[in-house]
Amino acid sequence: MKTVQLDKNKHDRHRFDCGIDALNNYLKIMASQQAKKDNTRTFVLEDTNCAEHVVGYYTLTMTPIDLTLLPLKLLKKHQNASSGGLIARLAVDQRYKGNGYGEWLLIDALKKLLMASETVAFPLVIVDAKDGAEYFYEKYGFTAFQDTENKLFITISDVRASISD
């Protein structure tokens, strides 16, 4: 399996339905425009039987880090850092859910961010978890920021360690 960049001329964005309108609409309306403007990158996993059908997608960009929301030890270590990699969106079409694609997409996104961080260093990966999906991310080692409900992080050093395992 491998992800490719969203191609609005190839991928059927209107068919995609993860059950959350905001995430469906992002893929339909925004993702391609935002990539064209170099604001975000969206990667899709194609159905092996029909490449036009999108199994799932994720969107990557950068985001400022609010250091004050980090545990003291990490705050001290990263006090000179300003940005983190952001998994801005991640979703699997309802027709494909429960088959490990969400996990696979998350690991693929983390691998891409790890690779990017080897060139333009940043210490954290941050996710915006929608609709109770915090538990999905916690399962893979993400920690909630203090005093926030749906923003979580993992350090790049933990990503590096778990991916090289």
Where do contacts with ligand COA occur on this chain (CB under 6 A)?
Answer: 18-20, 23, 89-92, 97-103, 129-133, 135-136, 139
Q: Which is nearer to ligand COA, 68 or 135 (CB)?
A: 135
* Calpha distance 142→157 (Å, rounded): 12
Rounded least distance, CB 76 to ligand COA, Å: 30
Q: Which is nearer to ligand COA, 149 or 157 (CB)?
A: 149
Rounded least distance, CB 103 to ligand COA, Å: 4
* Calpha distance 124→86 (Å, rounded): 9
Q: How many other CB atoms are found less than 10 A from the CB of residue 129?
A: 19
Taking alpha carbons only, the member of 135, 53, 142 closest to residue 94 is 53
Q: Which is nearer to ligand COA, 129 or 156 (CB)?
A: 129
Residue number of the CB atom closest to ligand COA: 102
Q: How many other CB atoms are found less than 10 A from the CB of residue 163?
A: 12
Rounded least distance, CB 84 to ligand COA, Å: 16
Q: Which is nearer to ligand COA, 62 or 91 (CB)?
A: 91
* Calpha distance 30→39 (Å, rounded): 11
91 three-state secondary structure = strand
Q: Which is nearer to ligand COA, 14 or 73 (CB)?
A: 14
Helical residues (DSSP H) of 7-100, grouped into ranges: 21-25, 31-36, 72-77
Rounded least distance, CB 130 to ligand COA, Å: 4
Rounded least distance, CB 96 to ligand COA, Å: 6
